[in-house]
Structure 1
Amino acid sequence: MDGILRAAAELLDTELSEPVDLGGSRRSTVLRCRTGSGESVIVKAYTDEPEARRCFAAEAAGLSFGLAGPEVLGVDPKVPLLVMADLGDSPTLADVLLGSDAKAAGEGLVTWARALGRLAAKSVHRRVEFRQLWARYGTGMTAWDDEPWIARNVAALPAVLDAVGVAAPAGLCEELARMGTAGGEEYPAFTPGDTCPDNNLLTPQGLRLLDFEAACYQSVFLTAAYCRTPFSTCWCVFVLPAGIARKVEEAYRAEVVAVYPALAEDAVWQAGMRQAVAVWTVNATVRLLPQTVEDGPMHRTRRPVATRRQVLRHRWHVASTLGEFPAFAQTVRQLLRKAAREWDVAPLPHYPAFRAAGAGRT
């Protein structure tokens, strides 16, 4: 911590004191500090491992892009670390979803979706600029835009299925190969990457996004699918009431239609969304199914929280009617039948804020 403070103080040319550890991760240390003038700032320092370096490059490029997130006060690629303006201790979207106020949760979700849609719309014509920022901080590393994670998941799925005794139906490999990037070639836009509920502050000035470690350009459908299969890569996963889910999805869609008019066509939008649901369901299956030999919570400390088996079963349920991918739909139905036989686990409930309003279960 002393070394981080010295490097950040030198970067800002001011004394830093009163460090408070905000948690960070295995890749990073995050501190709230006071400057010599009494201002509160956030220092985020990364380890020197390749994955951490890549996350630093994404965060430095994404925040320097200037479209969202806290103001960047300084970047030191040598440490590496960033110093950012402190956005304070406002509640996160996770806080309201896991609370008891359905109105606050619904408004928070719509605010989140609208802000992400506006961010995407503002970014469409600035991809070259983002590439230049990545080149500055990425030092030759592959950008997240170019990471073949969908193809890697597709290649891994048959072995994951075989390990649990589920036979891949005829045509599955061909369907998986057609998933592509879920519209990324036609409808790309900027995203912080990790837009999970705990990375969104609901401040008096509006929604403020945190955590740009996976910042990239990706299909707008992959972002919008976080509304249809709630928070596709996150720990804070429960069920949204159908009416709320539609409202949230339409809030995002209304913003991106301004730059991609073709998305106003329901046929185009629905096909892209179904493809994105398939992509995220493959991702969840490959990532979580090997961890369900013994069930466990999606987060080590946060409560309430769903279990991995609950989340997977819900993901499979949503994907079980994907008409464009009949072999994949058959696959997830097989997984659902296996889960019904072998997993003694309750259905995934609604987010706590909506349970208080009598939303029920699904």
Structure 2
Amino acid sequence: MEAILRAASQAAGVELSEPVDLGGNPRSTVLRCRTAEGDSVVVKAYAAEPDALRGFTAEAAALSLGLAGPGLLGVDPAVPLLVMADLGTAPTLADVLLGDDPEAAVDGLLAWAGGLGRLAAASMPRRADFAELRARYGGHPADPNRDGELPAGQVRHGTLPAEDESWIAGLAPGLSGLLDEVGVAAPPGLAEDMALVGTVDHDEYPAFTPGDTCPDNNLLTPDGLRLIDFESAAYESVFLTAAYCRMPFSSCWCVFTLPDGMAEKIEEVYRAEVVTIYPALADDAVWHAGVRRAVAVWTTHMTVFLLPRVVEEDRFMHRTRRPVSTMRQVLRHRWEMASALTEFPAFAETMRLLLREVAGPWKVTPLPGYPAFGG
């Protein structure tokens, strides 16, 4: 802690004290600290391991763009750490969706969708800048024993990938292997369908995204939506974000169902912003085909991620937050939606097989609605 404070003080150019642990994760330590003038800042120090370094590189580059997120007050690539402006304790989108005020939930959803769309539109001239910043911050390997003080973290993945190295490429083999494990025979044509699904990552409509746009990473401040957590920031297809509106919240823990018409409403709010940079997306055929591919991508991703965890017994989507749905509820809901993707017949049949052969014996209740709308 003392080593982090010293490095953060030097990076920010002001003495910091009174650290309060804000939680973080195995890859990072997040602290709220006081300046000598009595103001507060947030310090995020990353573990000296490959996955954490990847998160640092993406977040440092993203915040340096100045398009979204807290103001960046200092960077030390050698630790590595960031010093950021403190956005305070405003409620998150998750807070209002899990609360009891439907009007606040609607306002939060619209602010979230519009904010992400405006960010995507504003990002278009900055892609080369982002790539340059990634190269700059990714070129400073951290020393876990800098001054003999900072501990190493934990490894999850491998070395820092290039921005255009797709996480989507690993989904098809991951799904194939998982089907073998749970005893579901892949229908003929699945590999071909997955190849078509994967083209969402190579379309003509990329834009900047923080990466993890889940409800708990969106603060609803008096000044409007403010985003946090840019560890997965990248330029990706706008359809991948649009699917977050439709599904909703494709890869998140805060997953329930929305009232009728609400998903379509927030999707149109996001779409209206990105159409300003990609007029072709005003064509319903182009738009809906892209979003449906993205739904298939995210469904595959969450299947590969969640199903191995619940083969034996169900688990909650979050360790401590309540109310919360269960993993089996979310998986069944995702498979039901994806089984309607008839343009990918083998993929849709795979979803139906999972519903019948895997989810059938679970006997879980349907995914409920968000508490703010009456559950």
TM-score (norm: length of structure 1)? 0.96
Is 2:337 the partner of 1:318?
A: yes
Equivalent positions of 1:254-269 (< 5 A) are: 254-269=272-287
2:149 — aligned with what?
Answer: none
Whole-angstrom CA distance in 2 between matches of 1:123 and 1:336: 39
Is 2:156 the partner of 1:138?
A: no
Secondary structure (helix, strand or coil) at the match of 1:79 reads: coil
1:360 — aligned with what?
Answer: none
Is 2:347 the partner of 1:328?
A: yes
2:124 — aligned with what?
Answer: 124
2:270 — aligned with what?
Answer: 252
Give the 3 Å change call, closer, same or farther, for CA 77–183 of structure 1 in structure 2: closer
Give the 3 Å change call, closer, same or farther, for CA 109–319 of structure 1 in structure 2: same
Is 2:232 the partner of 1:214?
A: yes
1:301 — aligned with what?
Answer: 320
2:309 — aligned with what?
Answer: 291
Secondary structure (helix, strand or coil) at the match of 1:213 reads: coil
Moved more, 116-125 or 175-184: 175-184
Whole-angstrom CA distance in 2 between matches of 1:130 and 1:322: 34
Q: What RMSD, in angstroms, separates the aligned Cα atoms of the two structures?
A: 1.3
Contact 2:210 2:231 in 1 (8 A): yes
Whole-angstrom CA distance in 2 between matches of 1:177 and 1:231: 24
Q: 1:171 aligns with which of 189, 199, 206?
A: 189
Secondary structure (helix, strand or coil) at the match of 1:145 reads: coil
Whole-angstrom CA distance in 2 between matches of 1:152 and 1:175: 14
Whole-angstrom CA distance in 1 between matches of 2:100 and 2:168: 36
Whole-angstrom CA distance in 1 between matches of 2:160 and 2:6: 30
Residue identity opposite 1:192 in structure 2 = P
Whole-angstrom CA distance in 2 between matches of 1:206 and 1:291: 37
Whole-angstrom CA distance in 1 between matches of 2:211 and 2:8: 26
Give the 3 Å change call, closer, same or farther, for CA 19–340 of structure 1 in structure 2: closer
Secondary structure (helix, strand or coil) at the match of 2:285 reads: helix
Residue identity opposite 1:304 in structure 2 = P
Moved more, 319-328 or 9-18: 9-18
Structure 2, unmatched stretches of 5+, are: 141-158
Give the 3 Å change call, closer, same or farther, for CA 296–144 of structure 1 in structure 2: farther
Equivalent positions of 1:155-170 (< 5 A) are: 155-170=173-188
Is 2:43 the partner of 1:25?
A: no
Is 2:5 the partner of 1:5?
A: yes
Contact 1:183 1:272 in 2 (8 A): no
Whole-angstrom CA distance in 1 between matches of 2:369 and 2:229: 26
Give a deviation string over 1:261-303, Cα, whole Å, max 9, x none: 0000000001001100011111111111111122101111111
Whole-angstrom CA distance in 2 between matches of 1:205 and 1:181: 38
1:48 — aligned with what?
Answer: 48
Contact 2:93 2:218 in 1 (8 A): yes
Q: 1:201 aligns with which of 205, 211, 219?
A: 219
2:255 — aligned with what?
Answer: 237
Give a deviation string over 1:19-61, Cα, whole Å, max 9, x none: 1100000000000010011111000000100100110000000
Secondary structure (helix, strand or coil) at the match of 2:203 reads: coil
For residue 13 of structure 1, report the CA deviation from its aligned partner: 2.7
Secondary structure (helix, strand or coil) at the match of 1:169 reads: coil
Whole-angstrom CA distance in 2 between matches of 1:272 and 1:46: 35
Residue identity opposite 2:373 in structure 1 = F
Contact 1:113 1:252 in 2 (8 A): yes
1:281 — aligned with what?
Answer: 299
Whole-angstrom CA distance in 2 between matches of 1:113 and 1:26: 29
1:341 — aligned with what?
Answer: 360
For residue 184 of structure 1, report the CA deviation from its aligned partner: 4.1
2:70 — aligned with what?
Answer: 70
Secondary structure (helix, strand or coil) at the match of 1:178 reads: helix
For residue 142 of structure 1, report the CA deviation from its aligned partner: 4.2
Whole-angstrom CA distance in 1 between matches of 2:292 and 2:48: 39
Give a deviation string over 1:123-162, Cα, whole Å, max 9, x none: 1222111100101101286456323321101111111011
Whole-angstrom CA distance in 2 between matches of 1:112 and 1:228: 13
Structure 1, unmatched stretches of 5+, are: 357-362
Whole-angstrom CA distance in 2 between matches of 1:15 and 1:32: 13
Whole-angstrom CA distance in 1 between matches of 2:215 and 2:263: 15
Is 2:95 the partner of 1:90?
A: no
